Structure 1
Amino acid sequence: MDVTFFIGNGFDIQSGLETKYSHFYHHLKDIALEDASLKENIIYKDIINTPDNAVKWSDFEMGLMELTHKCVSDEEIDNEWTAQNVSKAKEQIEKYLRSYLLMINSVDIKKELREMKGIFKDSFSNLLSSLPIARSEELYQILQMKDTFFNVNIIDFNYTTLFNNVYKTLEDTNFTPIFFRTTSSNRKVLLNKGSYIKIHGDLSKSINLGGSDESQLGPVMRKSEYNFYFIKSKLDHKIGDGNYYSSKNVINKSSLFCIFGMSLGESDKHLWEEIIQRMYKNENSALIIFQYEDDDQINIQPLQKETRSEEIKRDFLKYAPDIDIKSEDYLYLFNRIFIIYNSNLFNLYDLINLNEKNVVS
């Protein structure tokens, strides 16, 4: 049985890396004090005038897509909002993003590698025991497991390399057991490594920033030769990495999906649609969303927890627009989504913080 993890920026943030969009927003403001060309960048000028949008990367990406609606024909050379100019402006912003992330990506894992590996192994082992026992029983019944192992696939959305650097040090096969803690079984399942996909590229080559499909583009950019530069799957194809094709194949053979540290934004809706289609076709499949909430008391507030869980499920299932929310099909999907709040899985913060203190001293 295949289980696929979607690892987002929440992992980096949890580890103490300053990878929030707001961090980059303030970094750009500092750069612009010395770089006159950045001050004239039409995307930067829009960014700096909309500080309220400095929240999530998915919001920034959708902001880029919205800006393409301002595009005019390249023949209107006196208008700065040509498709070519917007594309060049995006390229300059990405150059600064890459240099910023290279600066903060230098985490030395060697000193604490043994402990980091232990945290990752414990995290995989405790994955399902994070669910309350009744929910774990439900998940076990949904999956109808017959295999004694999970084939683990990772789809890493981060440009940074921290998760991959630790994960690749784990043994290739049977790197840790995982337990179903249910009322009827305490079954042990071994984990094997499957695919590892850096779906948005990485800092050693190119980064892939943009939206999900052409419907999010403005009409001029949609017809422009530059439109591929704003659609992540198209850019991936142009670069030749094949990450989106590989991810689709992984999703279509998986039975359990785990989304960790992601905002589930519109800029990646194509992938969320792929998960929903797979779950719709395979009744023995399920999704676990690991959700961070500012209120750390949410796990002991049943009413708030249940209300919030239903809201998160509805937010995800909005990517299944053809299914009526009152239909049996909707309920069929809704009941196979599980929410885990404020999990401590894969949390390297203390080790990285300790490592940095040791370097300073």
Structure 2
Amino acid sequence: MKVVFIIGNGFDINLGLATQYENFYRFYLGLDSSNDSIQVKKLKEHLKNDQDQESRYQYWSDLEIGMGNYTVNFSNVKELKEAYYDLNDRMQEYMKIIDKKDLPASINSQKLIRDLSYPDQYLRPLFKEEIYNFLKKWGTSVYETYIVSFNYTNVLEKILKIKENDNMQLSNSRFGNSNTLYPIIHIHGKVDAPLIGLNDKNQIKNELLRENEEVQECIIKPKLNEMLAHLVDVKVDNHIRTANLICIFGHSLGDTDKLWWNLMGERLKTDCRIIYFAYNPKELLRPSELNNIRRKYKNLLLSKTSLTESEKKMRLIKSI
């Protein structure tokens, strides 16, 4: 039985860490710009102007898509690299500062272990029963749990008190079998080498630079993972393809990671369920609105996949 957790920036934000794009924006534009190159100054001016727009960047994925759109302002690879490398280097500096901060003393590692062991505990009784009946197929199986973190920080490792390559035992499954958490995978790298960029070349809006191999290797995340040859992307691909239960927490499902959402969509065609934990403090949980809210987030997730409309409606209605 394989359980895969997809952890996004909402996890770190929920712990009080200043890891939102807006936090980095203030840090980046607050730096001394007197020695910046022309391209970096232009990029910063673009980011300043963006904050005045109603459709301004809110998430990291918005910034990444914005980077792809902004490529139309470059006439050659050198200009693109100047701007991109500065943004990436300053982001690395900022994330290192954040990662060094102490976590709140109130954080309970045992609670996180329980949450990883029993992610269905927060579901309403009907849906909890549906998940339980689904999991009964593996009632005699040992559990393998994997965390794919889209974050750069080592927050999860700190809370769980584990090192980079450590396994740890979670609570036994609901059927009394062992449950092992394997080393946490950081698909976007860590604070010492963060990856920020696009999903594919179609998100590069500069048609003159779109097919340039150097440009693709600079700002397309799957290309970056491929060049690093660390097999992290291969592991994540395999885990999603073979997962029986996928739990998504704190992720905005941005288009710059749609490679992974497409894989999840394909996996839903087989023996797999997804639990999508969504949080929006502006939504009123009126009983009459619960189904609308569930539909909204289910449709959001399915819209990020390449599934056909018939597959979404007929085969996957109870998979999420």
- Describe the superposition over 1:158-205 as per-residue Cα deviations: whole angstroms up to 9, x where unpaired: 1111112223539845321344xxxxxxx445321234211001123x
Give 1:107 deviation, angstroms.
3.2
Instruction: Provide the aligned C-alpha RMSD in A.
Output: 2.4
1:291 aligns with 2:278: yes
The equivalent residue for 1:192 is: 180
Give the match for residue 220 of structure 1: 208
What is the correspondence of 1:320-331 to structure 2 with a 5 Å cutoff?
A: 320-324=305-309, 327=310, 330-331=313-314
Structure-1-length-normalised TM-score: 0.79
Q: How far apart are residue 2 of structure 1 and its match?
A: 0.4
Q: Counterpart in 1 of 2:17?
A: 17
Equivalent residue in structure 2 for 1:137, among 129, 138, 143: 129
Indicate conservation of the 8 Å contact 1:10/1:261, yes or no. Answer: yes
CA distance in 1 between counterparts of 2:225 and 2:173 reads: 34
Q: Is residue 336 from structure 1 mapped to residue 319 from structure 2 by the alignment?
A: yes
The amino acid across from 2:94 in the alignment is Y
Partner residue in 2 for 1:268: 257
1:91-150 CA-to-partner distances (Å, cap 9, x unmatched) read 1011111111111211346x959x632222232244211111210121233343333432
Q: Secondary structure at the residue paired with 1:258?
A: strand
- Cα distance in structure 1, aligned partners of 2:36 and 2:311: 55
What residue in structure 1 maps to residue 92 of structure 2? 98
Equivalent residue runs for 1:139-288 within 5 Å: 139-143=131-135, 144-169=137-162, 172-179=167-174, 187-204=175-192, 206-218=193-205, 219-224=207-212, 225-280=214-269, 282=270, 284-288=271-275
Distance in 2 (alpha carbons) for counterparts of 1:40 and 1:46? 11
2:58 is the counterpart of 1:63: no
Give yes or no for contact 1:212–1:266 (8 Å, CA) kept in 2.
Answer: yes
Alignment gaps of 5+ in structure 2: none
Distance 1:38 1:96 in 2: 14
Runs of 4+ more than 4 Å apart: none
Structure 1 residue 323, shift from structure 2 partner: 0.5
Match of 1:352 in 2: none
8 Å contact kept, 1:236–1:244: yes
Q: Which amino acid aligns with 1:226?
A: V
1:84 to 78, 87, 95: 78
Name the aligned partner's letter for residue 91 of structure 1. Y
Q: What TM-score do the two structures reach when normalised by structure 2?
A: 0.89
Report which stretch shifted further, 328-337 or 5-14.
328-337
Q: In structure 1, how many angstroms separate the alpha carbons of the residues matched to 2:260 and 2:251?
A: 12
Shift of 1:47: 1.2
* Letter of the structure 1 residue corresponding to residue 233 of structure 2: Y
Shift of 1:60: 0.7
Return closer, same or farther for 1:130/1:54 CA change in 2, 3 Å cut-off: same
* Residues matched between the structures, number: 311
- Gaps in structure 1 of 5+ consecutive residues: 72-79, 180-186, 338-361
Judge conservation of contact 2:266–2:307 (CA < 8 Å) in 1: no
Secondary structure of residue in 2 paired with 1:151: strand
State how far apart, in whole Å, the 1-side matches of 2:45 and 2:2 are: 45
Once the two structures are TM-superposed, the CA of residue 82 in structure 1 deviates from its matched residue by 2.2
CA distance in 2, matches of 1:125, 1:267: 29
1:317 aligns with 2:302: yes
Q: Equivalent residue of 1:237, what SS?
A: helix
Shift of the 169–213 alpha-carbon distance from structure 1 to 2, 3 Å rule, reads same
The code of the aligned residue for 1:198 comes to H
**Matches of 1:328 and 1:54, distance apart in 2:** 32
Residue 247 of structure 1 aligns to a residue whose secondary structure is helix
